[in-house]
Structure 1
Amino acid sequence: MMAEKRTGVITFKGNPVTLVGPDITVGDNAPDFKVVDNGLQPVTLDSAKGKVQLIAVVPSIDTGVCDTMTRKFNQDAADLPDSVAVYTISVDLPFAQGRWCGNAGIERVKTLSDYQDRSFGLAYGLLIDELKLLARAVYVVDAQGKVAYREIVSEVTAEPDYQAALNAVKALL
């Protein structure tokens, strides 16, 4: 079965690009996925079952906006209880993510890699067909596994609405 392709959703440096996968919206059951952590251990949606999940999605942790976004969520996550799992997902190799986190002092955000199968990108409709990278987005999934908040940033090089995402998390606590 061929994955759905969507156009007109986002741009990269002003140029339209194609997203592969379904349009997951608020109220939907969050799709399962399989990514790996920095130790190559599998992480799925159920890995944080019963917790609120703040999932930041970035094209590459090693670029300016992705760096800023992950640092900002790491800083904000310090004020959140342990009942909230905070992830940054990209297709960067787990080793590069781990090195970046160590250099950046990232402790509260767990970086996860979708490099193996693009499982997360395809399940959430965020795989950029032309680049094979993930679109910039933020999801908040409630403790029951429903999508409570979603922002797909319309221009990949722009930052998300951090406060709206944090407000969505806090509304679930």
Structure 2
Amino acid sequence: QNQTPSYKTINRFRVNPKTDALLASLFIQFHSQCLEQSLIDDTKVEANANKYTFVWKRNIQNYETKMNENSTLLYQELVKNKIVPEIKEDRDINLTQEEIDLIGTHLDKEIEDLTNQMNESKNVETRRIKRKTRTEIKKCRKRIGEYSERKNKYRYQQSILKDRNSYSKTDHDATFMRMKDD
């Protein structure tokens, strides 16, 4: 009764050459029995389901407002530095998707022009200045590209929301209610 095997006994079993074949055989038998009983059907069950699968209308509006402010500031800075031509007269209105894409096109053209000027220039100092300018414009181009993607994303989310306040990322018809501990 109350006897426990020593560590030597367990180790002898573990290192025995027959153990590997025995365990492999047992695993195959167990797996085939589970398949016969329809216990294994390649279904994956996640223990920690994604808690944050919902999208809230207020968050979309807040993020979009902040993004619009940042894109307008970037546009004004680019116009002030004469990197892109002025696209619209009224600076208080948010940039549309087409205007953001147009700014991106102007920045791409400016980057290409600077690259050509760098390749043609023989003066090291001039090339260094052009490279620094091109780096700054590339950073602006990357930000404009991100703004364009986010604008599309927010427009898509708004189309799913319609007049609701929230929706689930996994089931667009589902609506959420906040819990007190959420």
Could you tell me the TM-score, scaled by structure 1's length?
A: 0.23
Higher RCO structure, 1 or 2 (CA under 8 Å, sep 6+): 1
Compare CA radii of gyration and give the structure with the larger one: 2
